Amino acid sequence: MKINELTKEAHETALEKGWWDEERSTTECLALVTCEISEAIEELRKGNYKKFNEELADVYIRLGDLCGHLGIDIEKEIIKKMEFNKTRPYKHGKNF
């Protein structure tokens, strides 16, 4: 499955399961993505790698749902950004 197909499926599933019965703000949706990242960090902290992997999947699912709702061609955006990143200097020219 391609990224846009996963995005479409994530959004369709969210619609079917009632997550969009009431309008949600983009900010709320991004907060939910952040929550999934926090849950992944917690599972990693506990050494539970199976749950860690699941939480990372949830990050993509939440993001896919949001992109589907907003009509963002995230596959195109990822490709465009990855190509741009190839042109950037080492560590973006910063000394960390």
| CB distance 19 to 65 below 8 Å | yes
Structure tokens given for 45: 């902290």
Domain architecture of the chain: domains with CATH: 3-93 (1.10.287)
Cβ neighbours for 65, distance < 8 A, ≥ 6 positions apart: 7, 10, 11, 13, 14, 19, 29
**CA dist 92 to 30, 77, 80, 89, Å?**
26, 19, 17, 5
CA atoms of 36 and 62, how far apart (whole Å): 8
Structure tokens given for 84: 């741009």
Confidence (pLDDT) at 95: 82
| CB distance 29 to 83 below 8 Å | no
* Tens-level pLDDT at each residue, the chain (96 residues): 899 999 999 999 999 999 999 999 999 999 999 999 999 999 999 999 999 999 999 999 999 999 999 999 999 999 999 999 999 999 998 887
